[in-house]
Structure 1
Amino acid sequence: MTPAAPNATAVKFGYPESLVAGYRHWLVLARPQQPTLGSLVLLCTDPARSFSQISPAAFAELEQVTADIEAALKAAFQPDKLNYLMLMMVDPDVHFHVLPRYEQPRQFNGCDFGDSFWPKPVDLTQPAMNEPAMLVEIREDLRRHWPRRGG
């Protein structure tokens, strides 16, 4: 599917380099700051500044997008939980931070990734992994695990 047009929030979170998957109304981006392994940004491309303002089509598509996110993260990193945070305190476009949560560390690409916040909420103000080469590997691994639709 052709990715939807980016907005300022998409660009802030590294679009187009960070793109994992694009939908008609949503972009799924690998979060440049990884507080937990496989952290994503789920961004609506509708011109909406509150969740209630997104189009009925975006609401409908959200069901498929979240199912794909959960399938890909489960296949790639086996998180114990997923947190969807819609904060929108700084970036006004409708978006969620999707944070996989891990009770025990995971290994990926020869490195151990822990979840130092478990079982409490993730503190997005704390330093997070942002090594460019590792971010590319995380994004590519998620792309490989993304559910394929259609023929």
Structure 2
Amino acid sequence: MECKYFEKLKDYNYGDLLAETDYWIILLAPDQRNLGTCVIALKRFEGDLSELKDEEWLEFSKIVKKLEYALKKAFNSTMFNWGCLMNSSYRKDPPDPHVHWHMIPRYKEKTEFKGLIFEDPCFGSSTMKTKGGIRKVAEDVRIKIIKEIKDNFEI
């Protein structure tokens, strides 16, 4: 899938393209500590969540339902954390915030995918203070994760 907005968003390093809707792009996040972690980025450049239009909120709600379903079906996720965290945008001078959401699947049990084990040691708590940096997976595994999500994501 070719996304004309994806090139503009590469500087934000949100991840690999999964899908595109009228107002959002859905990407597999670079950090895969929690299998299937995604970023959902607004296509237009907006710095404030309060400035989202009604139609953007409506479409976002549909993405939430369909993406959660896809991750439960693909990887047996237990639950999901959603966050709109734009803190790193303010490390730049001048700040460059862009509305986007982090969708972090949470797993009560260890999860195996393509020979890799994914654990969620702070299940039931916030992942905000998880130490250990990000978990990148090999490109061939990322491709398989993307395929698994797409096979279950009807957008």
TM-score, normalised via structure 1 length: 0.85
The 4+ residue runs of structure 1 with deviation greater than 6 A are none
- Determine the structure 1 residue equivalent to 2:29: 31
Counting only pairs closer than 5 Å after superposition, residues 100-139 of structure 1 correspond to structure 2 as 100-123=105-128, 126-133=132-139, 134-139=141-146
Instruction: Tell me the matched-pair count.
Output: 145
Distance 2:68 2:3 in 1: 19
CA RMSD in angstroms, aligned pairs only:
2.1
Asked if the contact 2:70/2:152 (under 8 Å) is kept, the reply is: yes
Q: Judge which range, 51-60 or 121-130, deviates more.
A: 121-130
Distance 2:11 2:51 in 1: 18
Asked if the contact 1:3/1:23 (under 8 Å) is kept, the reply is: no
Q: Deviations over 1:106-148 (max 9, x none)?
A: 1111222111221211136632320232222211211111125
Letter in 2 for 1:76: A
Letter in 2 for 1:54: L
- Determine the structure 2 residue equivalent to 1:5: 5
Distance 2:118 2:86 in 1: 27
Distance 1:22 1:54, change over 3 A: same
Q: CA deviation at 1:8?
A: 3.2
Q: Where does the alignment leave 5 or more consecutive residues of structure 1 unmatched?
A: none
Q: Deviations over 1:64-122 (max 9, x none)?
A: 11111111111101111100011111131101110000111011112221112212111
Q: CA deviation at 1:31?
A: 0.4
Asked if the contact 2:33/2:119 (under 8 Å) is kept, the reply is: no
Letter in 2 for 1:71: Y
Q: Where does the alignment leave 5 or more consecutive residues of structure 2 unmatched?
A: 90-96
Asked if the contact 2:38/2:102 (under 8 Å) is kept, the reply is: yes
Asked if the contact 1:47/1:54 (under 8 Å) is kept, the reply is: no
Q: What is the aligned-residue identity percentage?
A: 23
Asked if the contact 2:33/2:118 (under 8 Å) is kept, the reply is: no
Asked if the contact 2:77/2:105 (under 8 Å) is kept, the reply is: yes
- Determine the structure 2 residue equivalent to 1:142: 149
Letter in 2 for 1:64: K
